[in-house]
């Protein structure tokens, strides 16, 4: 396998030799449109489109829509949207490489008849249960069907009747005629076509027989001239049948050489999420989350809404590598990729999530002192942001303690801290309501200590506290997310994954934002000390901004 891979010309060679289009590598990303794409699919997209890009080839986006029941146009649209958003394009030299397996139903059918005529397939009238019983086990060979040696003409006639709708679901099937004693169970006369009286999202009721995935896939690849058909490891045992199908059809003159080759790589498994479309569908249908794009979902739509950028996902996919052995990746690597992507870019801002009022008692009433802070400390060209300091400001409740615990450097009576980008203040006490709750903190400021003025650092303090002027703070709802599951691998073994849903996977707070905080969808802001945040594209309004926290500044999850 490695040899063929290495033998393909890289971009430099392609350019130097002006190699023909047919010498280009061709890959495909073949989702079934039966759900939304998830982070595991991102891995496959990055791999397939990435190889095509790196080797001057072409990657097809192909909808593997051979299974009528679960497929829908909604999913087709969402998949197109997600692949584009991830940053990949299937238009090469002006030609759009977007395909549907259902476009090949007529070819697949013709190939099936050709296989029957060549003695390679037969119509079996056993029930699905009988076929299963006759298939044998890992240690026992299977037994031939009584219909296995029927004349080809009978099988052709029956297949035509199947196509014409003369037979009910499950009454018969077309099978390959290979070897019921093969040590590989996939080679024991696998089913090629089954009867399904069901409407298809593209072909309607034109067909009532549908090809099996294992038969359809190699044909799709060959018809499109795919060179590298990359799939996940579970399909390794299917490779002999993939090759069998292509070789028989090539012998019958249906395909020319070279034929596509299947390569397998390990599926991406990430802790604290599930990546099976069936389980994701269940989360949506049973209302455990608010739709496919819920910011806690590992779908690309959910991750995007949560604020993970396409560049961060690509970085994550690249980092986690391509492997032949199954492994588990820690979710924190995804957050790390987001931080690496956004730390150099994200505009900074202040937010107060759990507000407590601080009154600077010696600060003139009605006065606003303009303070400055870098928009991004890594990027001097990003310039400065400005915001006013006034007599009353919001601080985080946790930044005041009436009785300080050990090593507490923030506000407590008698202690001095710097209001970040402003002045040094000294705490003079607090005000409580009748129930004893602290409702205000009092402090006095030192007018000689304004940040950025000469001598401002003469007074040394250990604590730095973020704040926002009450007069200009912008109200916002902020959604703080935790893991959707409380177990790293909720669906390992025979576990019921729903038992491990984290009941506290989202917490909503009413917060204050620094005036001028970006409210632009898609812009990830770093709120100082708190993490990375983005406008929620569904629920936010100009009057009432809603933010999602993508992730904190540091990894706070124990793993
Ligand atoms: P699911 O099990 O979630 O239904 P699937 O493999 O059946 O996934 P497809 O729509 O057939 O879903 O997937 C399209 C492509 O994405 C396939 O080539 C598949 O190998 C790849 N893929 C799916 N899940 C993963 C994953 N976790 N890691 C890597 N590749 C994946
Ligand atoms: Mg699949
Ligand atoms: Mg599946």
- Asked whether 267 lines ligand 1 (CB < 6 A), one says yes
From the CA of 63, the nearest ligand is 1
Say how many Å lie between the CA of residue 301 and the centre of ligand 2: 19
pLDDT at 323: 87
* pLDDT-based confidence at residue 321 (cuts at 50, 70, 90): confident
What pTM value is reported for the model? 0.92
Helix (H, G, I), strand (E, B) or coil at 465: strand
- Asked whether 277 lines ligand 1 (CB < 6 A), one says yes
The residues near 4 (Cβ < 8 Å, ≥ 6 apart) are: 261
* pLDDT-based confidence at residue 317 (cuts at 50, 70, 90): very high
pLDDT at residue 12 above 90?
no
Please give the distance of CA 515 from its chain centroid, rounded to a whole number: 33
Say how many Å lie between the CA of residue 40 and the centre of ligand 1: 6
pLDDT at 2: 31
pLDDT at 495: 87
CA 136/CA 475 separation, integer angstroms: 67
CA 420/CA 401 separation, integer angstroms: 18
pLDDT at residue 7 above 80?
no
pLDDT at 71: 86
Average pLDDT, integer, range 128-132: 96
Average pLDDT, integer, range 44-66: 96
Burial class (CB in 10 A: 0-12, 13-18, 19+), 97: middle
| 106-210 and 277-346+476-551 in the same fold | no
What's 277-346+476-551's CATH class? mainly alpha
pLDDT at 454: 87
32 is catalytic: yes
CA 534/CA 523 separation, integer angstroms: 6
The residues near 134 (Cβ < 8 Å, ≥ 6 apart) are: 126, 142, 143, 144, 145, 180
The phi, psi pair for 46, rounded to 5°, reads -65, -40
432 is catalytic: no
Domain 106-210 falls in which CATH fold?
3.90.800
Average pLDDT, integer, range 386-398: 98
Query: Tens digits of per-residue pLDDT, 195-245?
Result: 999 999 999 999 999 999 999 999 999 999 999 999 999 999 999 999 999
Tokens of 255: 């395909």
With b for 16 or more beta-carbon neighbours within 10 A and e for fewer, the 508-541 pattern comes to ebebbbbbebbbeeebbbbbbbbbbbbbbeeebe
Q: Domain 351-465 carries which CATH code? A: 2.40.240.10
pLDDT at residue 14 above 80?
no
* pLDDT-based confidence at residue 20 (cuts at 50, 70, 90): very low
Candidate from 382-391, 451-460, 476-485 with smallest mean pLDDT: 451-460
Mean pLDDT of the chain: 94
The phi, psi pair for 8, rounded to 5°, reads -80, 140
CA 177/CA 360 separation, integer angstroms: 87
- Asked whether 57 lines ligand 1 (CB < 6 A), one says no
CA 156/CA 160 separation, integer angstroms: 6
pLDDT at residue 491 above 60?
yes
pLDDT at 288: 97
pLDDT at 17: 41
pLDDT at 23: 66
Average pLDDT, integer, range 31-51: 96
Distances (CA, A) of 360 to 54, 353, 441, 469: 60, 20, 9, 11
Average pLDDT, integer, range 36-59: 96
pLDDT at 22: 53
The minimum-distance atom of ligand 1 relative to the CA of 276 is: 3
**Crossing angle, helix 213-223 and helix 105-117, to 10 degrees?**
110
Query: Tens digits of per-residue pLDDT, 165-209?
Result: 999 999 999 999 999 999 999 999 999 999 999 999 999 999 999
pLDDT at 422: 97
The DSSP secondary structure of 368-400, one letter per residue, reads: -EEEEEES-TT-GGG-EEEEEE-SEEEEEGGGB
pLDDT at residue 6 above 70?
no
CA 297/CA 309 separation, integer angstroms: 15
**Crossing angle, helix 213-223 and helix 239-251, to 10 degrees?**
50
pLDDT at 246: 98
The phi, psi pair for 217, rounded to 5°, reads -60, -50
Average pLDDT, integer, range 512-533: 97
pLDDT at residue 324 above 80?
yes
- Reported ipTM: 0.95
- Asked whether 217 lines ligand 1 (CB < 6 A), one says no
* pLDDT-based confidence at residue 492 (cuts at 50, 70, 90): confident
pLDDT at 11: 39
Picking from 13, 14, 47, the residue whose alpha carbon sits closest to that of residue 29 is 47
pLDDT at 21: 52
* pLDDT-based confidence at residue 10 (cuts at 50, 70, 90): very low
pLDDT at residue 505 above 90?
yes
The minimum-distance atom of ligand 1 relative to the CA of 232 is: 20
From the CA of 282, the nearest ligand is 1
Three-state DSSP string of 485-549: ECCCCCCCCCCCHHHHECCCCEEEEEEEECCCCCCCCCCCEEECCCEEEEECCCCCCCCCCEEEE
- Taking the alpha carbons of 11, 12, 13, 16 in that order, is the dihedral positive or negative? positive
The DSSP secondary structure of 207-271, one letter per residue, reads: -SEEE-HHHHHHHHHHHTT-SEEEEEGGGGGGHHHHHHHHHHHHHTTSS-SSPPEEEEEPPEEET
- Asked whether 40 lines ligand 1 (CB < 6 A), one says yes
pLDDT at 258: 94
- Asked whether 231 lines ligand 1 (CB < 6 A), one says yes
Tokens of 213: 């995935």
495 is catalytic: no
Q: Which of 150, 196, 267, 375 is catalytic?
A: 267
Asked whether the beta carbons of 139 and 133 are under 8 A apart, the reply is no
pLDDT at residue 124 above 70?
yes
Q: Where are the domains of the chain?
A: 106-210, 277-346+476-551, 351-465
């Amino acid at each position: 396998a490695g040899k063929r891979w290495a033998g393909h010309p890289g971009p430099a060679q392609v350019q130097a030799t002006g190699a023909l289009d047919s010498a280009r590598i061709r890959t495909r990303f073949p989702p079934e449109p039966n759900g939304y794409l998830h982070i595991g699919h991102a891995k496959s997209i990055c791999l397939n489109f990435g190889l095509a890009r790196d080797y001057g080839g072409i990657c097809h986006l192909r909808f593997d829509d051979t299974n009528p029941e679960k497929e829908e146009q909604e999913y087709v649209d969402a998949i197109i949207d997600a692949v584009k958003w991830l940053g990949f394009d299937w238009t090469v030299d002006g030609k759009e490489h977007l395909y549907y397996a259902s476009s090949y139903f007529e070819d697949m059918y013709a190939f099936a008849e050709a296989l029957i005529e060549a003695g390679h397939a037969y119509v079996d009238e056993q029930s699905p249960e009988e076929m299963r019983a006759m298939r044998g086990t890992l240690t026992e060979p299977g037994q031939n069907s009584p219909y296995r040696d029927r004349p080809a003409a009978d099988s052709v006639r029956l297949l035509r009747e199947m196509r014409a709708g003369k037979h009910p679901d499950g009454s018969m099937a077309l099978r390959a005629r290979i070897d019921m004693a093969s040590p590989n169970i996939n080679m024991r006369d696998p089913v090629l076509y089954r009867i399904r009286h069901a409407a298809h999202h593209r072909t309607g009721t034109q067909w009532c027989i549908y090809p099996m995935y294992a038969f359809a896939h190699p044909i799709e690849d060959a018809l499109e001239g795919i060179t590298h058909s990359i799939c996940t490891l579970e399909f390794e045992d299917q490779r002999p049948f993939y090759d069998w199908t292509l070789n028989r059809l090539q012998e019958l003159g249906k395909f020319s050489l070279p034929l596509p080759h299947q390569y397998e790589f390990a599926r991406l498994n990430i802790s604290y999420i599930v990546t099976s479309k069936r389980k994701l569908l269940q989360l949506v249908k049973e209302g455990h989350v608010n739709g496919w794009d819920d910011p806690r979902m590992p779908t690309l739509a959910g991750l995007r809404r949560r604020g993970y950028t396409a560049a961060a996902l690509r970085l994550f996919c690249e980092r986690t590598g391509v492997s032949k052995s199954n492994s588990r990746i820690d979710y924190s690597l995804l957050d790390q990729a987001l931080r690496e992507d956004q730390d150099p870019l994200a505009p900074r801002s202040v937010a107060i999530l759990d507000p407590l009022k601080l009154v600077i008692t010696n600060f003139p009433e009605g006065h606003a002192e303009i303070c400055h802070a870098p928009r991004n400390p890594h990027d001097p060209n990003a310039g400065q942001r400005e915001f006013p300091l006034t007599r009353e400001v919001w601080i985080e409740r946790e930044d005041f303690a009436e009785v300080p615990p050990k090593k507490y450097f923030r506000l407590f009576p008698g202690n001095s801290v710097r209001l970040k980008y402003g002045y040094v203040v000294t705490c003079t006490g607090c005000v409580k309501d009748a129930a004893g709750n602290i409702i205000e903190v009092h402090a006095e400021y030192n007018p000689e200590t304004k940040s950025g003025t000469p001598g401002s650092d003469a007074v040394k303090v250990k604590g730095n506290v973020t704040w926002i002027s009450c007069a200009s703070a912008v109200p916002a709802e902020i959604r703080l997310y935790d893991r959707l599951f409380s177990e790293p691998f909720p669906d390992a073994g025979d576990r019921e994954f729903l038992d491990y849903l984290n009941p506290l996977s989202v917490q909503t707070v009413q917060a204050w934002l620094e005036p001028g905080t970006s409210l632009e969808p898609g812009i990830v802001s770093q709120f100082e000390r708190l993490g990375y945040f983005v406008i929620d594209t569904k629920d936010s309004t100009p009057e009432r901004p809603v933010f999602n926290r993508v992730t904190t500044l540091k990894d706070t999850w124990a793993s």
